Structure 1
Amino acid sequence: MTNIPFVILDVFATGKYTGNQLAVCWGAENLTDLQMQQIAREINFSETTFVTDTEPVNGGYNTRIFTPMTELPFAGHPTLGTAFAIQQQILKQQVERVNLNYQVGQIPVDLNYVDGNLDILWMHQQQPKFYDSLAEEIFADVIGVNPTDIDSGYPIEPVSTGLPFIIIPLKTLAAVGTAKLNLELYARVVADLPAQAILIFCPETVDPQRQLHVRVFTECFGIPEDPATGSANGCLAAYLAKHQYCGSPNVNITVEQGMEMGRSSLLYLRADHTPDLCPVSIGGRVIKIATGEFIL
């Protein structure tokens, strides 16, 4: 078996060494599930992706996503980063769209260029699914905030646009910044819920040019906190549109994430909620950091 090339990227980056780290491997069609999991554990980023066909299948590239502990059916920053890597390392020419084939179905990514260089990439997520709202009091204890820190004007609600997250609205930057999972209580509370990962947000921001400040806790995937989460922010975009948090069912905002981790991240959120549909798109920039290969 030949060695497996890979590229390391920063996704949803505001500059080099910001955003969420990602390793993308290609030429991985002969790797076993165990080998993919071992490579993901060796890299030890929140996710590592494997392009298992370097030619399109049904118009898209078969791709698998692994955390250090498990395989995921979909994730956001791996989608943008993998589309970037396919354009840069496999296609090596300008294309307007790259489709990725996942367990959840095909996810399209639109590529925009400025002076011939890739700029913002946009992924179009699945139609959102909304679940029953959850009790405020218990989740205040789960995330370690006072009940009065939760914005009771909006529900605590699980949402999925391919991967489910519990969305919790808070009032202040201080509350978001001090939140910390009570792991024992968290494990009991989320055990039977349709979502276990948690996104908290507030309208106060560190950067006045952004509209929301976000943190995402993904303990259920073996990652205590994620610095930039496209799948979670897709759920957030759908939530904001449904509940008209921004004043209308149309969302077009920028979100900051990862600052508490020293990994400043910038995500662009778009959504339009109607009684029948709610298209969701999440955008961001990708920066190449390093290339190499795994010796097999």
Structure 2
Amino acid sequence: MPRFAFQQVDVFCSVPLKGNPVAVVLGADGLTDDQMAAFANWTNLSETTFILRPTDPAADYRLRIFTPARELPFAGHPTLGSCHAWLAAGGVPKGAEVMQECAVGLVPIRRGQGGLAFAAPPLVRSGPVAPDLLDRIRTGLGLPTEAITNAHWVDNGPGWVAVKLRSRADVLAAVPDYAALGRLTLGLVGPWDPAKDGTDAQFELRAFVCAEGYEDPVTGSLNASVAQWLIGTGQAPEAYVARQGTALGRAGRIDLRRQDGAIWVGGATVTCIEGSVLL
């Protein structure tokens, strides 16, 4: 049975066990689709990734991303966690940036003092949310009508629809009814009030994968697409900090900024488990 190098990396937090974990299998070219899907189902993490040789000559490696139920074309915290694992295993990029190949194309990743940051990929769907869908979302979250101040499709692969609420308190008070919300991939965002919440961040987020019935602790793809929406429409400054995972006892911290014509999504990464797996 072949042996593969393995790391489990906590993302968007410098303290182990307070971010969002991703399982990373390195040198996974010998695995079949079924083996990848079975291992991702077994880890039961929100995402498990497999690092392979690139097919694009501009890329440093190719990444495939699986939830316990399906393959994703892109996801944020697996991108940073997998890059962390690749670098820790001795990966050397061809240029100043690490270039990841995945189903949405090439994703540049930068290294800095605060950790790693990826350039947000283009949205595959944007635009306003239909009133009937917005009403279903409000009902499914148990929110009063006045709690929702804006909403927008912000899909960069996983299917995100973002709903902006009045406050951080409203975001944390939401209680999802997954059956009522159906197959939505739903993100909530609300501003921090400096007088009540402090100045450590400017926005609070939560992410619900309703078809699979869970809340994701800290979500890079959602933060990327929300930043594209908020910064692009003047609802947020050119650079801000978001927090996520509070409702789950995590302490995710995401740095968002518009720079060099792109939205960069960054955070700390730390290895929690290292070894090998037999597959």
| TM-score of the two chains, using structure 1 as the length reference | 0.85
Aligned residue number for residue 106 of structure 1: 106
Q: Which runs of 5+ in 2 are unaligned?
A: none
Tell me the CA shift for residue 14 of structure 1.
Answer: 4.1
Aligned residue number for residue 256 of structure 1: 243
Separation (CA, whole Å) in 2 of partners of 1:130 and 1:93: 33
SS where residue 293 of structure 1 aligns?
strand
Q: Is the 8 A contact 1:126 1:162 kept in 2?
A: no
Q: Which runs of 5+ in 1 are unaligned?
A: 114-118, 191-195
CA RMSD across the alignment = 2.3
CA separation of 1:256 and 1:134: change in aligned 2, threshold 3 A: same
Task: Give aligned-pair identity as a percent.
Answer: 28
Aligned residue number for residue 201 of structure 1: 189
Q: Kindly provide the CA deviation profile for residues 86-135 of structure 1, in whole angstroms up to 9, marking residues without a partner as x.
A: 1110326997421111111111101125xxxxx42110022334223332
Aligned residue number for residue 160 of structure 1: 155
Separation (CA, whole Å) in 2 of partners of 1:104 and 1:92: 22
Amino acid at match of 1:168: V
CA separation of 1:86 and 1:14: change in aligned 2, threshold 3 A: closer
Aligned residue number for residue 164 of structure 2: 169
Q: Kindly provide the CA deviation profile for residues 264-292 of structure 1, in whole angstroms up to 9, marking residues without a partner as x.
A: 100011237xxxx9722101110111112
Residue of structure 2 aligned with 1:288, choices 261, 264, 271: 271
Q: Is the 8 A contact 2:93 2:99 kept in 1?
A: no
Amino acid at match of 1:233: N
Aligned residue number for residue 145 of structure 1: 143
Aligned residue number for residue 269 of structure 1: 256
Aligned residue number for residue 193 of structure 1: none
Tell me the CA shift for residue 159 of structure 1.
Answer: 1.1
SS where residue 244 of structure 1 aligns?
coil
Q: Is the 8 A contact 1:96 1:112 kept in 2?
A: no
Separation (CA, whole Å) in 2 of partners of 1:182 and 1:26: 37
Separation (CA, whole Å) in 1 of partners of 2:230 and 2:14: 24
Separation (CA, whole Å) in 1 of partners of 2:50 and 2:90: 13
CA separation of 1:294 and 1:81: change in aligned 2, threshold 3 A: same
> Residues 62-211 of structure 1 correspond to what in structure 2 (within 5 A)?
62-91=62-91, 96-113=96-113, 119-128=114-123, 129-135=125-131, 136-151=134-149, 155-187=150-182, 196-204=184-192, 206=197, 208-211=199-202
SS where residue 112 of structure 2 aligns?
strand
Tell me the CA shift for residue 224 of structure 1.
Answer: 0.9
Q: Kindly provide the CA deviation profile for residues 164-217 of structure 1, in whole angstroms up to 9, marking residues without a partner as x.
A: 311101112332112122223211xx5xxxxx3111111126553110111110
Q: Is the 8 A contact 1:77 1:231 kept in 2?
A: yes
CA separation of 1:278 and 1:184: change in aligned 2, threshold 3 A: farther
SS where residue 192 of structure 2 aligns?
coil
| TM-score of the two chains, using structure 2 as the length reference | 0.90
Aligned residue number for residue 229 of structure 1: 219
Aligned residue number for residue 6 of structure 1: 6
Aligned residue number for residue 245 of structure 1: 235
Q: Kindly provide the CA deviation profile for residues 241-281 of structure 1, in whole angstroms up to 9, marking residues without a partner as x.
A: 232112xxx52000000011111100011237xxxx97221
Separation (CA, whole Å) in 1 of partners of 2:145 and 2:46: 30
